[in-house]
Amino acid sequence: MATRAHFSSRIGFILAAAGSAVGLGNIWGFPTQAASNGGAVFLIVYLLMVFALAYPLLVAELTIGRYGNADPITSLRKVWPQQRALMGFVGLAGMIAVSLILSFYAIVAGWLLGYLVAPVLDLLGLTAQAQWLEEFGVERNLILMLVFMWLTVMVVRSGVTDGIEKWSTRLMPVLLLLFVVMVIYILTQDGAWEGLRVYLVPDASHLSPKLIVSAMGQAFFSLSLGVCTMMVYGSYLDKSANLPKTAAQVALLDTGVAFLAGMLILPAMFVAQNHGVVIYDDTGALLASDTLVFSVLPSMFETMGGVGILVSTLFFILMVIAALTSSISMLEVPVSCVIEELNHTRHWAVWWIGGVISVISTVIVFNFESLFGFVITMTTAYAQPIIGMIFAILVGWIWHRDKVLNEIKAGYPELEASLFWRIWPWYVRIVCPVLMLLVFFLQ
Ligand code: PFF
């Protein structure tokens, strides 16, 4: 077998994995959930979920992948060779879940493309076309989704180092910087501090089982867990990488961006409210929650006057790229399985799978009301945590402890003496599955 591609540098991997993690989940999912679930309380539970549940599982998933040095199906089979069929089934479940995630993700990312192009068209006097791009509609959703899927296919076709790594390394830092600048700007606007208060001052009355389940799903979604994405990326990582440390860097970066996005979006919502945009209905529920973030942002750019269009263009370009570095990591899961399990070329696999996912996405576009929210809930609140729990059980109960130890030790020679190794093995074995079961029973 030919040698598999690997990330060519450590920072390249961290940025690629962080690129997978940072995406619409941070800028759209997290702020929307926080705004609908009482702000600060959601933030606190979310942070707990990231560090108490998602981080240990991120290490587990990366470790399985790097040990396997293969597509997820083969990697899982290496962990439990006696159960080939069962492991094939788990890999397949991850593959289906991630394809469904991509099918709704591409629709939302398409909206970003619309908001990117619309102000430019407006400037050129093409007001009707600009309006079409910004207004919710079946044709618009369909066309923009297809454009975004095409972009995803083009990057994944180029493979690991040329496609995935290059894009992530270049753009992540610029995105972070722009966020900081925008947060500073929004805080100078009327109404912003009310948004900040909602975001940072907890009101315990919002705590509910539903909030806890949503926060868990959001943490899994944001760290791209439970659908073999991190497993595939781990498989492209070389043995000298320190997995616990790398995972911590990825989790911190991702959480940092989500936190910053909240600092931007929640105040921006209240600033927009100050300008007459209705955000909450009479019962206090968030209005048009799926699309609200995208209508609040343009209204913020409008307050910036002349530079607004520049900032808006830069912002949406970076967001599209952040969404792309996530979508490519999703497409890479089924693509790597088809290349390595069925011996197809990358080119063939990428077009075929991209095509099938576009068809699923089209079905969602045409049945938006009934399918969009449903697919999101099924994949993020159920499939990701459940498959993630299966990975935890595999690492905690099935995999021989010495093998886990040796795999992590390869890039972390002092592992045995570390605090990490004193806690993590039993944590993944007992605490993670129990915590997750508790959350599900709470519901
Ligand atoms: N983590 C991505 C985000 O927050 O936008 C979404 C995601 C990427 C989910 C990859 C799942 C996945 F496999």
Whether the predicted pLDDT of 54 surpasses 90: yes
Residue with CA closest to ligand 1 atom 11: 224
Whether the predicted pLDDT of 132 surpasses 50: yes
SS3 at position 28: helix
What mean pLDDT is predicted for residues 38-44? 95
Q: How far is the CA of 51 from the centre of ligand 1 (A)?
A: 17
DSSP lists the bridge partners of residue 286 as 280
Residue with CA closest to ligand 1 atom 13: 224
Choose among 44, 11, 2, 6: nearest CA to 262: 44
Q: How far is the CA of 127 from the centre of ligand 1 (A)?
A: 34
Predicted confidence at residue 2, as pLDDT, reads 44
Show me where the domains of the chain are located: 10-258+314-442
Express as a percent the part of the chain with pLDDT over 70: 94
Looking from the CA of residue 25, the nearest atom of ligand 1 is 4
Whether the predicted pLDDT of 115 surpasses 80: yes
Q: What is the pLDDT of residues 318-365, one digit of tens each?
A: 889 889 889 989 999 999 999 999 999 989 999 999 999 999 999 999
Q: What is the pLDDT of residues 223-272, one digit of tens each?
A: 999 999 999 989 988 888 899 999 999 999 999 999 999 999 999 988 88
Looking from the CA of residue 333, the nearest atom of ligand 1 is 13
Fold for 10-258+314-442, please state it.
Amino acid/polyamine transporter I (1.20.1740)
Looking from the CA of residue 323, the nearest atom of ligand 1 is 5
Q: How far is the CA of 25 from the centre of ligand 1 (A)?
A: 7
Whether the predicted pLDDT of 143 surpasses 70: yes
Whether the predicted pLDDT of 81 surpasses 50: yes
How many helices (H) and strands (E) the chain has is answered by: 22, 0
Looking from the CA of residue 98, the nearest atom of ligand 1 is 13
Q: Answer whether 376 contacts ligand 1 (Cβ < 6 A).
A: no
Q: How far is the CA of 221 from the centre of ligand 1 (A)?
A: 5
CA 312 to chain centre: 22
Choose among 191, 213, 295: nearest CA to 37: 213
Among 329, 379, 384, 391, the mutation site with the greatest number of ligand 1 atoms within 8 A of its Cβ is: 329
Angle formed by the axes of helices 166-186 and 243-274, to 10°? 40
Predicted confidence at residue 90, as pLDDT, reads 97
Predicted confidence at residue 174, as pLDDT, reads 82
| Range with the poorest average pLDDT among 116-125, 158-167, 324-333 | 158-167
